[in-house]
Structure 1
Amino acid sequence: MRPVPTLLFDGDCGFCTTAVRWIERNVSPRCESVAWQRADLRGIGVTRQRAQREALWVTPAGTVYGGADAVSKLLLSAGGGWSLLGALLMVEPVRRVAHGVYRLVADNRSRLPGTTDACFRSEAGARHT
């Protein structure tokens, strides 16, 4: 069992890495941030395709949340006002909208600032899953 939750993100994507570093500085979630490329995905029970498709929040017990649900859990872990926002993201219809926005950003990250060639490769691979 892990002592704290783990946030898995695409460490080859400049946009993803920049976003995670901003979150670490400004939101201060109670977790360890790890690029999925450096994680034991098999040990976590996550496929490479899923890790390429979305950010993942892995609880100490091993429960995995992806995409907007991962963002919600991350915000909940930070406490304070961030926690309220995280809780709001779990309530319908906000949850449905959050999932749509997350997918829109994730599917178009190659067009966002900080993009690297890895973003294009990850997008192409994720679409084939």
Structure 2
Amino acid sequence: MMESAFTRPVARPLVVFDGDCAFCTASIDRIRDRIRPDVDFAPWQRLDLTALGLTEEQVENAVQWIGSDGGRASGARAGAMLLRRAARPWRLLGTVMLIPPFSWLAAVVYCLIAHNRHRLPGGTLACAFPGPNRV
């Protein structure tokens, strides 16, 4: 599914990720192939962010979840929502990730991975977070 403005109601939840990041793209490919959640994936660079109610800052800093009901989540919570749309045991893991103190741990792990994604296997300098003086 890929419409630039997503002008129709979303039939399935949408996971928005950084398509310029090799680590992110490889991670999404693995999730799509192995976990097979009932969601659509799209790199933010190919979307009309304004139509989706997202900002460039949001999508550069974390993966985004747009539920078919309009619900929103980002980062670890978006990952948990994605897992809840997959088969067992992934669905259970996603549910647990939403419950404190596991949600706190998931948020810390997500931040560690996100801030170091350019250092992880498959990561490149394009995966690094933009600096404060980004043009």
Correspondence 1:32-111 to 2 at 5 A = 32-111=40-119
Structure 1: distance between partners of 2:59 and 2:73: 11
Correspondence 1:112-123 to 2 at 5 A = 112-120=120-128, 123=129
Cross-structure match for 2:17: 9
Structure 2: distance between partners of 1:2 and 1:82: 23
* 1:25 to 1:127, Cα distance in 2 relative to 1, 3 A: farther
Unpaired stretches in structure 1, ≥5 consecutive residues? none
Superposed CA offset, 1:28-67 (max 9, x none): 0111110011111101111001100000111123322100
Q: What one-letter code is carried by the residue in structure 2 that aligns with 1:110? A: H
Q: Contact 1:69–1:90 at 8 Å: present in 2 too?
A: yes
Structure 2: distance between partners of 1:46 and 1:97: 26
Cross-structure match for 2:130: 124
Q: Contact 1:5–1:57 at 8 Å: present in 2 too?
A: yes
* 1:113 to 1:126, Cα distance in 2 relative to 1, 3 A: farther
Instruction: Considering fraction of residues, name the structure with more helix.
Output: 1
Offset of 1:7 from its aligned partner? 0.7
| Coordinate RMSD, CA, aligned | 1.6
Unpaired stretches in structure 2, ≥5 consecutive residues? 1-8
Correspondence 1:15-26 to 2 at 5 A = 15-26=23-34
The SS at the match of 2:73 is strand
Q: What one-letter code is carried by the residue in structure 2 that aligns with 1:75? A: L
Offset of 1:9 from its aligned partner? 0.6
Q: Contact 1:53–1:126 at 8 Å: present in 2 too?
A: no
* 1:102 to 1:29, Cα distance in 2 relative to 1, 3 A: same
Q: What one-letter code is carried by the residue in structure 2 that aligns with 1:109? A: R
* 1:13 to 1:126, Cα distance in 2 relative to 1, 3 A: farther
- Counting matched residue pairs gives 126
* 1:59 to 1:50, Cα distance in 2 relative to 1, 3 A: same
